[in-house]
Amino acid sequence: VISSLHHVGIAVEDLEAAVQRYRSVLGLEPSHRERVEDQGVEEVLFDVAGGSVQLLGALGPDTPVGRFLASRGPGLHHIAFGVTDLAGELSRLRDEGARLVDEVPRPGSRNTLIAFLHPHATAGTLVELVQQEG
Ligand code: CO
């Protein structure tokens, strides 16, 4: 069961320049920054009304976001929904035959467990499910 719109992930070419844009154009201040080595990204979060915008910079060209930028350019990368039982959601999705990127939950930033669904399962947009830990 999806309980919230957790965040929207935006791929950017230049993370520092994008952060400055969000500050100056949108008047938002970053709330969190984290380098997630196993996902090949550095992310900066802006909290807005219970959810966040997550700017994603690639740590190199041969990373998921690096390849996304090369093929599609900067812009919407994924949307993330909050769930309370990620393992249960994944087994429900498997039972329904939905195509998954992650078969089992893995660690995300800010003390979360995450899993991605394949865009083919969700009408073309990469979807992430997020379970808050503690
Ligand atoms: Co995300």
CA-CA distance, 84 to 131, in Å (whole number)? Answer: 6
User: Sorting pLDDT into bands at 50, 70 and 90, what band is 86?
Assistant: very high
CA-CA distance, 109 to 106, in Å (whole number)? Answer: 10
Each residue's pLDDT tens digit, 41-71: 999 999 998 899 999 999 999 999 999 999 9
Name residue 78's amino acid.
Answer: H
pLDDT of residue 134: 74
What is the pLDDT averaged over residues 106-120? 92
Tell me how far the alpha carbon of residue 24 lies from the centroid of ligand 1, in angstroms.
23
Tell me how far the alpha carbon of residue 96 lies from the centroid of ligand 1, in angstroms.
23
User: Sorting pLDDT into bands at 50, 70 and 90, what band is 5?
Assistant: very high
Tell me how far the alpha carbon of residue 49 lies from the centroid of ligand 1, in angstroms.
17
What is the pLDDT averaged over residues 18-34? 97
pLDDT of residue 32: 95
User: Sorting pLDDT into bands at 50, 70 and 90, what band is 99?
Assistant: very high
The two beta strands, 106-108 and 41-48, are unpaired
pLDDT of residue 109: 85
